[in-house]
A and B are shown apart, each in its own frame.
Chain A
């Protein structure tokens, strides 16, 4: 197979990268890990004239904690780097587990967090858990930077809010009072499978009451979506098996799946029901985020 020809540039700074993206406009794509981009190019689905490589931008690699901000994950961190990161394992282990559930070892050594988010595939595994943890996206462009809720980052399949010349630089998980979170993915084999449906949940529980909760669905809507009605069932209530069951049913009804070669609408709704229940149960019982 052939990758269509392109001009390759590897800028030395984020600002330089943004300037190039402005200059080349729609004929340029950002090259992070390449595990998604190169496949699309080989399949003839994309033919960018320019690839702007982030290869030299070491500042985007780091995973660190910043007091007052939270945990910061650089967009160039690979999925295995996320999975193995001590800080994340300690503070947000579910994020590590979500990264672990992706693809296979080889892809996880190439694919990046930023790439996974910017590709905006509806079945992506990182967005649901990150959104459940109230993550923010720090976007850098030529004219400055902005930080938005990750929940607002996605516009549709393959579409994000990134404007011309903007790069997703970092994901921030803010300090929070969450007591537990969990991501469950259902795939059709145990490695190398996209999610047929995925559910992430985070809860803040005290005295058997659910003070706060987030339920985020993946692969069952054009973008990752909050199941707000399901959340409302639980929020502020004493936790019970019946409430969790109801949350599952409502999340299923809220979801907007389509039928494709991996699953039908009906089956996906069923998965949302089951996975929501199981995700909430794990988030409540596990006691770690």
Chain B
């Protein structure tokens, strides 16, 4: 959806975040992560390493998980994003969020937004994943607190609720 050759230091970017369309002016070297956190105050998306190794900055780009620290805001033009703030709908928690609470899958909570989005994307494309598939879906989300045990349980429990 870009225009003809864009040069210069500032660019207009149109993108949809959590269902709302936005048009913003950004420098080329702005990451999507910084755009979300600073411009939209969606601080639920976290900075863990900024190099694509930890997954704390995971958002859904057209329903697919990506590391927002490695997406330029200018490349986000024309795409649709979901952050953790967009997972609950009308004040009602997503089943996955409820299971994270019920299964005690949240300790310090810093990895939780990324984990939930990776889990959500998995369940959207594969409503009945195996345990292995769940672990693969969160293979790029590092957690230091839980050993992943209850996170996997929570995603599987949410999947079960789908049946």
Contacts and interface: CB of A to CB of B under 8 A. Distances in A.
Whether the complex brings A and B within 8 Å at their CB atoms is answered yes
Interface stretch (A10-18, A127-135, A142-150, A200-208): A10-18
Nearest to A4: B29
B6 A110 contact: no
B104 interface: no
B51 A55 contact: no
Interface stretch (A33-41, A64-72, A235-243, A270-278): A33-41
Secondary structure at chain B's binding surface: helix, strand, loop or mixed? loop
Nearest to A40: B51
B82 interface: no
B70 A34 contact: yes
B66 A192 contact: no
A260 interface: no
B113 interface: no
Contacts of B140: 103-107, 191-192
B139 A38 contact: no
A1 B67 CA distance: 15
B36 interface: no
A55 B2 contact: yes
Given A11-B5, A55-B2, A35 B70 contact: yes
A12 B4 CA distance: 7
B27 to A, nearest CB: 7
B22 interface: no
Nearest to B8: A7
A2 B5 contact: no
Interface in A8-26: 8-12, 16, 20
Secondary structure at chain A's binding surface: helix, strand, loop or mixed? loop
A2 B2 contact: no
Nearest to A1: B50
A51 B27 CA distance: 13
Contacts of A51: 28
A55 B75 contact: yes
Contact of A191 (B4, B51, B139): B139
A6 interface: yes
**Which among A5, A51, A106, A109 has the highest number of chain B CB atoms within 10 Å?**
A106
Contacts of B70: 34-35, 38-39, 107, 110
A5 B64 contact: no
Nearest to A16: B5
A51 B52 CA distance: 20
Interface stretch (B38-46, B53-61, B92-100, B149-157): B53-61
A107 B75 CA distance: 15
Nearest to B58: A106
Interface in A207-241: none
B11 interface: yes
Interface in B60-92: 61, 64-67, 70-72, 74-75, 77
A5 B29 CA distance: 6
Nearest to A43: B51
